[in-house]
Amino acid sequence: MTDEQIVTLFWDRDEQALRESEAAYGGYCRALAERFVSTEDAQECWSDAMLRAWDAIPPERPAYLRAFLAKLTRNAALDRIRIDSAAKRGGGEGNAALAELAEVLGGRETAETSVAAKELGEAVNRFVRSLPRREGDVLIRRCFFADTTAEIAKRCGMSEGGVKVMLSRTRKKLKTYLESEGFL
Amino acid sequence: MNSEQLLNAFSCLDDDLIERSEMANPRAGWRKWSGMAACAAVLAVTLLATRGIWQRPNAQIRSTAQFASDYTPAPGETDVVTEPAEQDEGNAEREVSGAALMLPDSVGEKIVEVTPMIESYKTDADACYVAPLNGEVNRSLPLRGAMEEYGDGVRYRVVVDLFRDEQPLAADSAEAERERERLAALGYTVAYEQVFDHGQPESAYFTLHATCDELNALPAGAYGYMLFLYGECVPNTAQNVPEVVLNGANVPVTGTEVAVSPRDTSESLTAAEARGDAAFGAYLCHAPAGFDEQEFLRTPEQLRASYRRGYEYVDWSVRAYGEADRERLVTVVAETEQYDVSLYTIPYADSVPAERRIVFYDPIFRIEDLTLELVRARAYRIDDAGDSDGWRMSFSVLYGEVLVRVSTKGVSPEWLYQELTSLG
């Protein structure tokens, strides 16, 4: 079944949409959640994502259902971490990506949360769009999917060293960009 | 701000960016050179470029064989140097992997960083190009694609076709030689390359080895510049292995064919080009205030404009009205139940009767029937955390036999009505 057909099932309020989504992207999204939380929590994150998708479609009509569900699942996983800071975290790559992003803040990390999430998200989106395609893809693989550098190297046809160098450069660019936008 | 907030911010990436990263494919347009010779060639090109040898007119360079003898691979770098040979696959692309290759220093264990050189890039589009005017710098589609994908992390091996008054100049002409000297004086790495076939001179090229920034800032001066990636002009032909002379030294490079250059049929347009489209250009809207990002695209069937401001957007497409569209045409505007979103609750799938959905989801109004009230009847807002809560509207408008479809978030019904009624 195509994404368009699954989305149509959502629009028709046909619960088969959930079964088809599970068959098509359940494993994919659970694996993504496991980068951030434990296996058992990952299943709950996927269930949360399905509920959110049911509420959002319609009126949403996602052009990229896989990416749409992946974002919902990732959000559910990060929500879970926030709610329970002692949550059983997953394989560690989410933590590793988090630690790398701390470099971007360059010691200016604060506990205050006054930065508007929406504005920051928009800035990150603009920044990624401004990058050359491969560089943007590598950053997304690391920071959105929490892929390991070895996985990114294989996916993108680069050496692992090349991925690390590229990520290091891109994080510096991100830091400069966030400074110029007034976030740092 | 803390790093968790920054990590969360990546959840705001657009779906197409996320999906695109899934499509990252190491083999599409990405071929590693094989063995020592390949790496040595990379080293040769890169070291020559970085040392600026080609900037000095009569300098001699070392052949790749000499560089190869200097080179010893290091443990851990086998993914770069021991791939099975792929170099002799006819017209196969030759590109160097990675945004920055990590190669061993020939003296010690220290790893040195070498900038890859891109000399070919695969695109699906066919294109021909107009001669550049004096002062213009035009780039081929493969070069544009490569620069977009690899950006500043690499260098590009580029062939320059030089024009004066739209007439091509030979690479071995005195004028071309003076241009090379001018660019070299500005810090560019330039070369005059000759290709020999069975000992006979076959072709000559004016080439550049430049970064993305250098190419973007290339001063055309009094001439028109048409830039190609090297692989477009000197394809790898296995049956014919001529040699290239780089300022006196021979290096093994294959190929004798030269690309033809005459109109860019690229699908991506500038705003002026899009508005100048004879069939549909007059039906494009203007950018809403503050919507700084814009994109124009022409396909054989339609002309599309897209404006963005964060999560907010105006997507505007223009095409010919077709038979399949007729079922969505609202012929009686008074039947508001066909299209008025305020009459139904979200989720619409639970409130709009099945028989009305085809029209309701994308109604077509004749421009003669369009009123501000009608546009307002298509507008709704959603309080969605993490997203824009601006007005959302989508529908189509028929101008004779031309159909305009709009899908917006963040602009007002008044703005949209004003734009729609000023077209045609």
Name the residue ranges covered by the structural domains of chain B: 22-251, 268-420
Q: How distant is the Cα of B195 from the closest Cα of chain A, in angstroms?
A: 31
B2 and A143 within 8 Å at the Cβ level: the answer is no
- DSSP letter (8 states) at residue B236: -
- The boundaries of the domain holding residue A161 are 93-180
Residues A139 and A162 reside in one and the same domain: yes
A31 part of a folded domain: yes
Q: Which pLDDT score is estimated for A38?
A: 84
Q: How distant is the Cα of B96 from the closest Cα of chain A, in angstroms?
A: 10
Residues of B in contact with A66 (CB under 8 A): 19, 22
Weakest mean pLDDT among B10-14, B130-134, B234-238, B354-358: B234-238
Q: Which pLDDT score is estimated for B28?
A: 33
A128 and B17 within 8 Å at the Cβ level: the answer is yes
pLDDT surpassing 70 at residue A116? yes
CA angle B310, B315, B321 (to 5 degrees): 175
Place of tokens 């080609």: B54
Residues A117 and A62 reside in one and the same domain: no
Q: Kindly state the average pLDDT of the residues A28-32.
A: 92
Q: Which pLDDT score is estimated for A78?
A: 85
Q: How distant is the Cα of B164 from the closest Cα of chain A, in angstroms?
A: 32
A63 part of a folded domain: yes
pLDDT surpassing 90 at residue B377? yes
Q: Which pLDDT score is estimated for B418?
A: 95
The number of domains in chain A is: 2
What is the CATH number for A151?
1.10.10.10
B7 and A101 within 8 Å at the Cβ level: the answer is yes
Chain B: residue nearest A164 by CA?
B100
Distance CA B421, CA A29 (A): 45
Distance CA B373, CA B271 (A): 30
Closest in B3, B27, B80 to A102, CB measured: B3
B5 and A113 within 8 Å at the Cβ level: the answer is yes
A65 part of a folded domain: yes
**Coil, strand or helix at B83:** coil
Nearest alpha carbon to residue A166 among A184, A140, A129: A140
Nearest alpha carbon to residue A141 among A129, A130, A149, A131: A149
Place of tokens 């960016």: B17
Q: How distant is the Cα of B20 from the closest Cα of chain A, in angstroms?
A: 7
Residues A97 and A79 reside in one and the same domain: no
Chain B: residue nearest A183 by CA?
B1
Instruction: Compute the mean pLDDT over every residue in chain B, rounded to the nearest whole number.
Output: 69
Q: How distant is the Cα of A170 from the closest Cα of chain B, in angstroms?
A: 10
What is the CATH number for A25?
1.10.1740.10
Higher pLDDT among residues B334 and A78, named by residue: B334
Q: How distant is the Cα of B378 from the closest Cα of chain A, in angstroms?
A: 13
Q: Which of A83, A108, A134 is the last residue of a domain?
A: A83
Q: Kindly state the average pLDDT of the residues B207-226.
A: 87
Q: Which pLDDT score is estimated for B409?
A: 85
Q: Percentage of chain B surpassing pLDDT 70?
A: 63
Tell me whether the omega of the peptide bond preceding residue A59 falls within 30 degrees of 0, making it cis: yes
Q: How distant is the Cα of A56 from the closest Cα of chain B, in angstroms?
A: 8
Chain A: residue nearest B96 by CA?
A158
Residues A29 and A63 reside in one and the same domain: yes
Distance CA B56, CA B180 (A): 10
Residues A98 and A174 reside in one and the same domain: yes
pLDDT surpassing 60 at residue A68? yes
pLDDT band at B276 (very low <50, low <70, confident <90, very high): very high
Q: Count CB neighbours of B381 within 10 A.
A: 11
Higher pLDDT among residues A32 and B308, named by residue: A32
pLDDT digits (tens, 9 = 90+) for B139-181: 888 888 888 877 877 788 898 988 888 778 888 888 888 888 8
Q: Which of A83, A107, A125 is the last residue of a domain?
A: A83
Closest in A63, A117, A145 to B386, CB measured: A117
Residues of A in contact with B22 (CB under 8 A): 66-67
ipTM above 0.95, yes or no: no
pLDDT surpassing 50 at residue B69? no
Place of tokens 């897209």: B306
pLDDT band at B126 (very low <50, low <70, confident <90, very high): low
Q: Which pLDDT score is estimated for A46?
A: 92
Closest in B2, B22, B102 to A109, CB measured: B2
Residues of B in contact with A24 (CB under 8 A): none
CA atoms within 13 A on the CB side of A182: 4
Closest in A120, A134, A155 to B149, CB measured: A134
Contact A177, A168 (CB under 8 A): no
Residues A101 and A72 reside in one and the same domain: no
Q: Count CB neighbours of B414 within 10 A.
A: 12
- Neighbouring-strand partners of residue B313: B308, B409
CA angle B413, B416, B422 (to 5 degrees): 140
What would you report as the CA-atom Rg of chain A, rounded to the nearest whole angstrom? 17
Contact A55, A18 (CB under 8 A): no
Higher pLDDT among residues A87 and A49, named by residue: A49
Place of tokens 């071929």: B31
A41 part of a folded domain: yes
Residues of B in contact with A107 (CB under 8 A): none
A124 and B6 within 8 Å at the Cβ level: the answer is yes
Higher pLDDT among residues B308 and A89, named by residue: B308
Residues of A in contact with B310 (CB under 8 A): 118, 122, 125-126
Q: Which pLDDT score is estimated for B63?
A: 27
Q: Kindly state the average pLDDT of the residues B106-112.
A: 40
B346 and A58 within 8 Å at the Cβ level: the answer is yes
pLDDT band at B407 (very low <50, low <70, confident <90, very high): confident
pLDDT band at B366 (very low <50, low <70, confident <90, very high): very high
Task: Tell me phi and psi for residue B158, to 5 degrees.
Answer: -125, 135
A60 part of a folded domain: yes
Residues of B in contact with A67 (CB under 8 A): 15-16, 18-19, 22
Q: Percentage of chain B surpassing pLDDT 90?
A: 18
pLDDT band at A106 (very low <50, low <70, confident <90, very high): low
- Residue A168 has which token pair? 């290091």
Nearest alpha carbon to residue B296 among B309, B310, B285, B312: B285
Q: Which of A27, A54, A83 is the last residue of a domain?
A: A83
A38 part of a folded domain: yes
Closest in B21, B30, B310 to A137, CB measured: B21
A88 part of a folded domain: no
A115 and B1 within 8 Å at the Cβ level: the answer is yes
Q: How distant is the Cα of A40 from the closest Cα of chain B, in angstroms?
A: 21
**Coil, strand or helix at B7:** helix
Distance CA B323, CA B318 (A): 16
- DSSP letter (8 states) at residue B88: T
Distance CA B371, CA B365 (A): 10
Q: Checking phi first, is residue A157 left (phi over 0); if not, alpha (psi -120 to 50) or beta? A: left
Distance CA B83, CA B74 (A): 14
Q: Kindly state the average pLDDT of the residues B379-386.
A: 67
Give one DSSP letter per residue of A58-72, joined into a string: TT---S-HHHHHHHH
Closest in A105, A118, A132 to B386, CB measured: A118
Residues A122 and A67 reside in one and the same domain: no
Q: Checking phi first, is residue B421 left (phi over 0); if not, alpha (psi -120 to 50) or beta? A: alpha
Closest in A121, A131, A137 to B11, CB measured: A121
Residues A129 and A174 reside in one and the same domain: yes
Contact B231, B143 (CB under 8 A): no
Q: Which pLDDT score is estimated for B195?
A: 67
Q: Which pLDDT score is estimated for B186?
A: 84
Residues of B in contact with A108 (CB under 8 A): 1
pLDDT band at A84 (very low <50, low <70, confident <90, very high): low
pLDDT band at A60 (very low <50, low <70, confident <90, very high): confident
Residues A8 and A74 reside in one and the same domain: yes
B18 and A162 within 8 Å at the Cβ level: the answer is no
pLDDT surpassing 90 at residue B248? no
Distance CA B413, CA B424 (A): 19
pLDDT band at A153 (very low <50, low <70, confident <90, very high): confident
Query: The pTM is what?
Result: 0.40
pLDDT band at B27 (very low <50, low <70, confident <90, very high): very low
Instruction: Compute the mean pLDDT over every residue in chain A, rounded to the nearest whole number.
Output: 83
Higher pLDDT among residues B98 and B320, named by residue: B320
Chain A: residue nearest B345 by CA?
A59
